[in-house]
Amino acid sequence: MTRTKAMFWILALTWLMCTSAGQYYAQAEEMAGYPPECVELFQGMDSDGDRQVTIEEFAVAAPTPTYAGRKMAKEQFLAKDKNGDGVITIEEFCIVKELKEGEKEPTPEEQCEEQFKKCNASGSGKLNLTEFFNCMEVKSYGSRKAIKDTFILMDKNHDEELTQEEFCAGAPELPAE
């Protein structure tokens, strides 16, 4: 390889590395302030790296790849797409709750415990299937099927009720308030 070709390739690779680093830092700055686990989940769904999740990307990332699971994913996508433009941005996906002065960010365990208490309308300390449906805001038959399948998988002792431990061990993403 001649010196000129070698110098050309060195310059090209340097330019490519600088461009990639600039894009990485711009993206990191744009996503700063959001919970890291939320950003990681969002980036995992954003398969083309354009910082927007389409309904196709969202459906592919759905935990239940069945027809009912895709139907439920579509409903969840539409609920998260606040401006109705057909894509979900990091702002729409990672809702950040404003904390009052002196208030600390709740841990995932505390968040799950709080969600369980909201879902447990009867106050029995266990969720039945109806409470689980209501909590998940089921809107269609396909969603009901996917939610029921999820409930069955989460119910480790098969007593047709979820304890807080069962709920938090396998808690699916619940709708943001």
Q: What is the pLDDT of residue 124?
A: 93
- Segment 39-56 shows an average pLDDT of 88
Residue with tokens 């909590």: 135
pLDDT tens per residue, range 142-171: 677 878 888 888 899 999 999 999 988 875
Confidence category of residue 80, pLDDT binned at 50, 70, 90: confident
pLDDT tens per residue, range 90-129: 888 887 555 567 777 778 788 888 889 988 988 999 999 9
Q: Residues with Cβ < 8 Å from 151, sequence gap 6 or more?
A: 129, 132, 162
Flag whether pLDDT at 16 surpasses 60. Answer: no
The CA radius of gyration of the chain, in Å to the nearest whole number, is 21
Structural domains in the chain?
23-97 (1.10.238.10), 104-177 (1.10.238.10)
Give the bridge partners for 122, in sequence order.
Answer: none
Q: Residue 140: name the closest of 93, 54, 78 by CA.
A: 78
- Segment 37-49 shows an average pLDDT of 87
Q: What is the pLDDT of residue 79?
A: 81
If DSSP states are collapsed to H, E and C, what string results for the chain? CCHHHHHHHHHHHHHHHHHHHHHHHHHHHHCCCCCHHHHHHHHHHCCCCCCCEEHHHHHHCCCCCCHHHHHHHHHHHHHHCCCCCCEECHHHHCCCCCCCCCCCCCCHHHHHHHHHHHHCCCCCCEECHHHHHHHCCCCCHHHHHHHHHHHHHHCCCCCCCEEHHHHHHCCCCCCCC
Total Cβ atoms within 10 A of residue 42: 21
Q: What is the pLDDT of residue 3?
A: 61
Residue with tokens 């941005």: 89
pTM confidence score: 0.47
- Segment 9-29 shows an average pLDDT of 48
Flag whether pLDDT at 174 surpasses 70. Answer: no
Q: What is the pLDDT of residue 175?
A: 44
Q: Which has more confidence, 174 or 96?
A: 96
Confidence category of residue 34, pLDDT binned at 50, 70, 90: confident
